[in-house]
Amino acid sequence: MKIKHISTLLLLSILIGPVSVRAADTTTDSTGEYLDDAGITAKVKMAFADDKWVKGRDISVRTDHGVVDLTGTVNSKAESDRATELATKVRSVTAVHNNLKITSH
């Protein structure tokens, strides 16, 4: 059964491209938790790609145990707030840490 989870994770990573997933203590994380975090990251990135305000911004998304970390740059506080709002709406997200920097024009 574990091989099936690993195969699914590899397939997911090929289909959605590079996804950053990190864990504080890998000895207690199961493959299922990694898949859940990867799925959350993919859904947040898709929400960003579909949104006219956030689309194309330099935003990195990382998920650990349902907590989404956003880093990168945006042009305004409104874009930063929108990114947080979109990530918060994704199912299974327990919290969003917005570390986005706003560029000055």
pLDDT per residue as tens digits for the range 22-70: 444 444 556 566 669 999 999 999 999 999 988 877 899 999 999 999 9
74 pLDDT higher than 70: yes
19 or 97: whose pLDDT is higher? Answer: 97
Element (H, E) at 52: none
Is 1.10.287 the CATH classification of the domain at 2-19+29-102? yes
DSSP 5: H
CB 65, CB 23: distance < 8 Å: yes
19 pLDDT higher than 50: no
Q: What is the pTM of this model?
A: 0.68
100 pLDDT higher than 80: yes
Residue 87, helix vs strand vs coil? helix
Identify the CA nearest to 86 among candidates 103, 61, 104, 64: 61
